[in-house]
Structure 1
Amino acid sequence: MKHWLFLTIAILGEVIATTTLKSTDGFTKLIPSFVVCLGYGISFYFLSLSLKSIPVGIAYAVWAGLGVAIVTGIAWLVYGQKMDTWGWIGIGLIVCGVAVLNLLSKTSAH
């Protein structure tokens, strides 16, 4: 179960880094730039730890899929990013794909 905690931390690090990236103003602002580098560093470190037990394809699908969905939700709430119905359907399909991989596929490490 520890490997899923590591993957969760990796996702959170990636989400924090990606949502902060807009605030760096092209890496010209020091504090947001530091947060981005730290967030991605944490993300990749914990993703690598999760790969000791979770197959790389599954870990990457969960990391990327949930990261995209969460960042899109934050961008919608915080930055006022516009999302139409098809955009939300697409995000929903990404989340469903992650769920199928983890709940139904035999390739996932349970």
Structure 2
Amino acid sequence: MGYLFLTLAICGELIGTNLLKASNGFSVLWASVGALAAYGVCFYFLAIAMKTINISVVYAIWAGVGIVLTAVLNVVIWRESLNIPTLLGLMLIVVGAVILNLYGPGH
């Protein structure tokens, strides 16, 4: 169940981050309120996930998957571009999260 809660936390983060962008510096009310609500949901499920999964693993997966999927949504929704150094950095984040998950505490 911990990984289900972690997935919900990641979804909340993705929604919150994109609504934060849409809020235009908290100048669009509906997007601002939505971003805060989504982050609230995100942190709630993140805390629940930490009951059964090691905190370093939870945080690495949450941050890594969140960063990578945010970059993908950045390209798809906001039409922003990615360059080679950014892609390399994203790959390193993924590799780090995988290594931590496979060989980190508790393994």
TM-score (norm 1): 0.89
Q: Where in structure 2 are the equivalents of 1:92-103 lying within 5 Å?
A: 92-102=91-101
> 1:60-95 CA distances to partner (integer Å, 9 max, x unpaired)?
111111101110111112212221112111111111
State the Cα RMSD in Å: 1.4
Stretches of 4+ aligned residues off by more than 6 angstroms: none
Distance in 2 separating the partners of 1:24 and 1:57: 31
In structure 2, distance between residues paired with 1:13 and 1:106: 25
Cα deviation for residue 42 of structure 1 reads: 0.5
Q: In the aligned structure 1, how far is the partner of 2:13 from the partner of 2:100?
A: 21
Per-residue displacement from partner, 1:22-59 (whole Å, max 9, x unpaired)? Answer: 11122121211121011100000000001101111111
Give the partner amino acid of 2:7: T
Gaps of 5+ in 2: none
Percent sequence identity over aligned pairs: 36
Whether 2:47 is the aligned partner of 1:56: answer no
Measure the CA separation in 2 of the matches of 1:8 and 1:43: 9
- Are 2:79 and 1:80 equivalent residues in the alignment? yes
Give the residue type in structure 1 aligned to 2:105. Answer: T
Which shows bigger deviation, 21-30 or 64-73? 21-30
Give ranges in structure 1 of 5+ residues lacking alignment.
none
Amino acid at match of 1:9: L
Contact 2:57–2:104 under 8 Å retained in 1 = no
Q: Secondary structure at the match of 1:57?
A: helix
In the TM superposition, residue 99 of structure 1 has moved relative to its aligned partner by 1.7
Structure-1 separation of matches of 2:106 and 2:81 = 34
| TM-score, length-scaled by structure 2 | 0.91
Structure 1's 63 and 108: CA in aligned 2 closer, same or farther, altered over 3 A? farther
Alignment coverage as a number of residue pairs: 107
